[in-house]
Amino acid sequence: MFLLWLRVAAVLYGVASLLAIPAVLGNRPRGHRFCLPVALGGWFFHLVAVVEMMNAAHHLIPVMADEVLSTLALLIVAVFLLIFFIWRTISFGLFALPLALLLTVIPAIGPDRYTFASPLVRNGWIVFHVVLLLAAYAALLFAMLSSVFYLVQERRLKDKRTPGFLTWLPPLATMDQITQTTLVLGFCFMTLGLLAGSLVAQEDVGARYFADPKVLLSFGIWGLYVAMLFMRRSAGLRGRRAAWVTSGVLVAIVFVWAANLLGSVHSSAHRFGLK
C-alpha cells in the first residue's frame, strides 16, 4: 500500500515544483497560497508511505537504497516546510521540491521497476531525455549571450567612444528579461530531462542509478543552476557578474554532459537499447 501513497506524494511534489517557479521567480509573493498546500499534502502522503515502508521491512532505520532515497526526500521537504513556517519564505522550494521529486520517483516505481511497453516507447523516452537536456543547454547558451550583450551595451552607454556599430544591441531591460526567461526555461528543461533519464535508467540499474558519481555530479550541476537563479532573484545579479556566473555554469554542464557520455550509465548505446 505504501507504493500508492508514495506515488501520490511524487505527483503532488511535481505539481508543487511547477507552482514554485512563478511563486519564487515571478515576483508573486502570494504564490505560496497554492504551492504550500500542495507541498504539505505531498509531505503528508510521503510520511504515511515511509512509515508503512519501514513497518513492512520490520526495521526503523532506512537500509535499502529505495528507503534511503525516500527518507532523504521526506526530510528535505520537512526542512523546507519548517523554514517557511518560521521565516515565511518560499524561495527554498525552488530547490527542495524538484529535488524531492527526483529522489521520490525511483522508490515510487516499486521493487519490480517500471518496464516500457516496447523498445519503441523506451527509445522515445531516451529521445525525450536527450532533447530536453539539449534544450536546457541551448537556453543557457542564450542566457550567457544575453548577459554578455548586457555587459557590452552597458559599457557602450557609459562610454561614448564605443564604436557605433554596436547600436544594434537591444535595450538593457530587454536583455535582462531574455536572460531571466531563458534561465527559467533551461531550469525546467533540465529538471524534466533528469526525470526522464532517471525513468529510463531505473529499468536497467534501479536506484543504483543515483550511486553513479557522474550522475550525482549532474544533479550537483542542477543544484548549481538553482543557486544561479537564486542569486539573480535575491542578490540582483546583473552585468559583469551575471556574464561570468552564467558562462561558468554553461562550461560546467557541458563538461558534465561530456563526462556522462563516457560514464558507466551512458557509455553504451546498447545499455539504452539503441544500436
Q: What is the DSSP string of 203-254?
A: HHHGGGGGG-HHHHHHHHHHHHHHHHHHHHHHS---HHHHHHHHHHHHHHHH
Domain boundary among 80, 109, 138: 109
pLDDT band at 173 (very low <50, low <70, confident <90, very high): confident
Domain boundary among 81, 109, 137: 109
Q: What is the mean pLDDT of the chain?
A: 79
Provide the 10 A C-beta neighbour count for residue 111: 10
Domain count, the chain: 2
Q: Give CA–CA dist 236/239, Å, rounded.
A: 10
Same domain, 34 and 80: yes
- Given the C-alpha cell 527509445, which residue does it identify? 123
Q: Give CA–CA dist 71/81, Å, rounded.
A: 15
58: Cα separation from own chain's centroid: 34
Q: Give CA–CA dist 222/219, Å, rounded.
A: 5
Q: Is residue 133 part of a domain?
A: yes
Query: Given this model, what pLDDT does residue 218 score?
Result: 75
Q: Assess whether pLDDT exceeds 70 at residue 19.
A: yes
pLDDT band at 154 (very low <50, low <70, confident <90, very high): confident
Q: Give CA–CA dist 184/21, Å, rounded.
A: 8
- Given the C-alpha cell 557520455, which residue does it identify? 261
Q: CA 188, 190, 196 angle in degrees (round to 5)?
A: 105
Same domain, 198 and 226: yes
Q: Is residue 243 part of a domain?
A: yes
Domain boundary among 76, 109, 142: 109
What's the mean pLDDT in 214-233? 76
What's the mean pLDDT in 237-254? 71
Please name the amino acid found at residue 142. F
Q: Is residue 79 part of a domain?
A: yes
What's the mean pLDDT in 238-259? 70
Q: Is residue 129 part of a domain?
A: yes
Q: Is residue 275 part of a domain?
A: no
DSSP state of 170: P
Grid cell listed for 262: 563516457
Q: CA 187, 191, 195 angle in degrees (round to 5)?
A: 170
Q: Is residue 72 part of a domain?
A: yes
What's the mean pLDDT in 110-136? 80
Same domain, 201 and 155: yes
Same domain, 248 and 140: yes
What's the mean pLDDT in 159-187? 77
Same domain, 88 and 126: no
Same domain, 252 and 133: yes
Which range of residues forms the domain containing residue 199? 119-261
Tell me the Cα Rg of the chain: 21
Same domain, 136 and 56: no
Same domain, 171 and 214: yes
Q: Is residue 274 part of a domain?
A: no
Q: Give CA–CA dist 236/241, Å, rounded.
A: 10
Same domain, 125 and 253: yes
Same domain, 57 and 75: yes
Q: Is residue 270 part of a domain?
A: no
Helix locations, 26-92, DSSP H:
32-57, 65-87
Query: Given this model, what pLDDT does residue 37 score?
Result: 94
